[in-house]
């Protein structure tokens, strides 16, 4: 009788085994769309930031490299100053809550960039003015959808962003693919007329002030094979003291003269 009881128990356990093997871990609930878009908006700036970046532009005219210093403060203030090459040193872009300006050091002239030109190329790169200083906000200026999809054999978060009417961007839709755990971007696809026309890839993720940040972004254009612009951070400090005066005309000129 004991042997028969054990035999029946083994049969019962064997019957349960396929169900046990096929059972999946419970799916984690999705974060809120607002949480994810805020994370994207604040990815490189936080409350404030100071960084040095190298931009490499590859196009049909060859290769060009720029070294730049950048400062940000809150959501409205940003300053970018080119340091190298020497012939372009001091050239700058300033963003405040009043608008966007480009600065030409040789003429000592500050030129306002109208909203209609935010989608124009920045310094001949594949990045636009809005890409660099983000006049628009994913949280405020886009309608979003959040889902979980499979990419490259792993589950990732997908954020579909459609600009609201009047948002100064050149694309009709933007789709981000993020690491499911850290919400760090892996890739972003830019759509126009239903097709991907620009693609941005993020890599070399590092920890900065307790925050995971990709130190390399590479933007390529689908109809220009071989062309790309790569931004690589050589220094990034977050939540440091950046005076408000940095984002004035006087502050810009003072910083532009530094070497």
Per-residue pLDDT at 27 exceeds 90 = no
Mean pLDDT of 237-251: 94
The model's pLDDT over 68-94, given as tens digits with 9 standing for 90+, comes to: 999 999 888 999 999 999 999 999 999
| Domain spanning 33-257: CATH 3.10.105.10 | no
Give long-range contacts, CB 8 A cutoff, 24+ apart: 26-29: 27/148, 28/180
Spatial separation of the C-alpha atoms in residues 52 and 59, rounded to whole Å:
23
Contact 197, 222 (CB under 8 A): yes
Q: What percent of the chain has pLDDT over 70?
A: 89
Mean pLDDT of 12-32: 59
The model's pLDDT over 190-214, given as tens digits with 9 standing for 90+, comes to: 999 999 999 999 999 999 988 999 9
Per-residue pLDDT at 11 exceeds 50 = no
The model's pLDDT over 101-153, given as tens digits with 9 standing for 90+, comes to: 999 999 999 999 887 787 788 888 998 887 877 667 898 899 999 999 998 88
Mean pLDDT of 234-244: 95
The model's pLDDT over 135-149, given as tens digits with 9 standing for 90+, comes to: 678 988 999 999 999
- 23 or 93, which is more confident? 93
What pLDDT does 179 receive?
95
What pLDDT does 187 receive?
96
The model's pTM: 0.83
Closest Cα to residue 211, out of 233, 244, 188, 242?
Answer: 233
Per-residue pLDDT at 2 exceeds 70 = no
Per-residue pLDDT at 4 exceeds 60 = no
SS3 category, 2? helix
Contact 187, 174 (CB under 8 A): no
Q: Which residue has 């810009």 as its token pair?
A: 252
Q: What are the strands, taking DSSP E only, across the chain?
A: 48-59, 62-73, 77-84, 92-96, 99-104, 109-112, 142-151, 154-163, 173-179, 185-192, 195-208, 211-221, 228-238
What pLDDT does 26 receive?
61
């Amino acid at each position: 009788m004991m042997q028969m009881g054990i035999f029946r128990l083994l049969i019962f356990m064997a019957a349960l085994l396929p169900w046990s093997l096929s059972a999946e871990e419970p799916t984690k609930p999705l974060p809120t769309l607002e949480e994810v878009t805020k994370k994207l908006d604040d990815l490189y700036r936080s409350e404030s930031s100071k960084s040095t970046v190298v931009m490499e532009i590859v196009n049909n005219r060859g290769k060009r490299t720029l070294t730049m210093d950048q400062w940000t403060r809150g959501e409205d203030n940003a300053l970018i100053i080119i340091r190298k090459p020497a012939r372009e040193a001091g050239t700058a872009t300033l963003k405040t809550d009043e608008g966007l300006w480009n600065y030409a050091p040789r003429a000592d002239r500050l030129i306002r960039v109208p909203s209609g030109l935010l989608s124009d190329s920045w310094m001949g790169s594949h990045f636009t003015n809005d890409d660099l200083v983000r006049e628009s906000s994913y949280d405020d200026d886009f309608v979003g959808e959040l889902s979980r999809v499979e990419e490259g054999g792993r589950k990732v978060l997908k954020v579909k962003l459609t600009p609201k009417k009047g948002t100064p961007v050149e694309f009709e839709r933007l789709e981000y693919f993020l690491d499911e755990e850290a919400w760090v971007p892996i890739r972003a696809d830019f759509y126009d007329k239903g097709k991907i026309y620009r693609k941005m890839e993020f890599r070399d993720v590092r920890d900065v002030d307790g925050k995971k940040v990709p130190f390399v972004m590479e933007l390529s254009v689908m109809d220009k094979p071989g062309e790309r612009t790569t931004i690589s951070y050589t220094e990034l400090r977050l939540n440091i003291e950046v005076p408000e005066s940095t984002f004035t005309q006087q502050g810009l000129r003072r910083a532009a003269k530094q070497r």
